C-alpha cells in the first residue's frame, strides 16, 4: 500500500512539473507572437513622408557626383524594359564615385583623394588595390583604373549630339529609410527633342559625417 501511494505521489509530482514547464512557455510564445505581429503592424502603419522640396539640393549634389555611372549603364549596358539592382561591390562603388571627378574636369586623381570621395558617398573606404592597372578605363565596364601606384585614371569623353538630362521626381522617407527617384531623358541637340531613357532609384541612409548628409545603400536602374 505504501509502495503504491509512493508511486502515485511521484506520478502526481511529475505531472505538476510538466504543467509548470509547459504552460508558462506556451504563454511566452503567445506573447512573443503578439509582440511580433504588433511590430509588423507598426512598420506597416509608418507612412511615406514627402521630402522632395526640403532635400532637393543635397539629392542633386549626390546625383552630380554619381550620374555618369547611371548614364553609361542605362545607355550602353541595359536593354529596353530591363530593371537592374546594382551590386555595390568595392569595384562598382569606385566606378560610381568616378563621376564627380570627371565633372570637375579631372582625368586623374590621387589614390588618397579618390578614396575620400568613395568614403563620402558610401561610408566605406575604397580598395584602390582592387582596380586593374591600365592606361585607360574600358568604358562602359570601367570608369576608373589605376594608372600608377599613386594615381587613378578616370574615363573622360563627350556625349556628342545626344546627352542625358536628369530630373528629380521624388524624395520620400519611411522610418529611417530614404528613397530617391530620378527620371532620365536623352536630349538630342540636333532635333531639340527628348526621349525617355530610364529611372534611377536610390536608397539612402542619413550620415551627418558625409558632405552629402547621406550614404548610398542601394541603386536600382530601370531602362525605358
Tell me which residue of 85, 86, 72 sits closest to 159, measured CA to CA: 72
pLDDT > 50? residue 211: yes
Q: State how far the Cα of 117 lies from the Cα of 180, in Å rounded to an integer.
A: 20
pLDDT in tens, 44-86: 667 889 999 999 999 999 999 999 999 999 999 999 999 999 9
Q: 185: burial class by Cβ within 10 Å (0-12, 13-18, 19+)?
A: middle
pLDDT in tens, 171-203: 999 999 999 999 999 999 999 999 999 999 999
Amino acid at each position: 500500500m505504501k509502495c503504491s501511494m509512493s508511486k502515485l505521489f511521484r506520478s502526481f509530482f511529475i505531472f505538476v512539473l510538466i504543467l509548470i514547464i509547459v504552460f508558462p512557455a506556451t504563454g511566452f510564445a503567445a506573447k512573443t507572437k503578439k509582440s511580433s505581429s504588433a511590430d509588423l503592424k507598426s512598420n506597416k502603419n509608418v507612412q511615406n513622408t514627402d521630402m522632395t522640396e526640403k532635400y532637393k539640393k543635397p539629392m542633386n549634389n549626390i546625383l552630380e557626383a554619381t550620374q555618369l555611372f547611371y548614364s553609361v549603364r542605362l545607355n550602353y549596358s541595359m536593354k529596353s524594359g530591363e530593371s537592374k539592382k546594382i551590386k555595390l561591390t568595392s569595384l562598382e562603388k569606385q566606378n560610381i564615385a568616378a563621376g564627380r571627378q570627371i565633372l570637375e574636369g579631372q582625368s586623374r586623381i590621387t589614390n588618397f583623394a579618390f578614396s575620400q570621395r568613395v568614403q563620402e558617398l558610401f561610408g566605406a573606404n575604397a580598395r584602390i588595390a582592387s582596380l586593374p592597372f591600365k592606361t585607360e578605363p574600358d568604358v562602359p565596364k570601367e570608369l576608373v583604373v589605376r594608372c600608377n601606384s599613386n594615381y587613378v585614371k578616370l574615363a573622360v569623353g563627350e556625349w556628342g549630339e545626344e546627352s542625358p538630362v536628369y530630373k528629380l521626381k521624388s524624395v520620400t522617407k519611411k522610418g529611417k529609410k530614404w528613397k530617391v527617384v530620378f527620371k532620365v531623358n536623352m536630349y538630342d541637340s540636333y532635333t531639340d527633342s527628348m526621349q525617355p531613357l530610364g529611372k534611377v532609384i536610390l536608397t539612402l541612409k542619413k550620415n551627418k559625417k558625409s558632405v552629402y548628409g547621406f550614404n548610398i545603400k542601394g541603386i536600382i536602374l530601370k531602362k525605358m
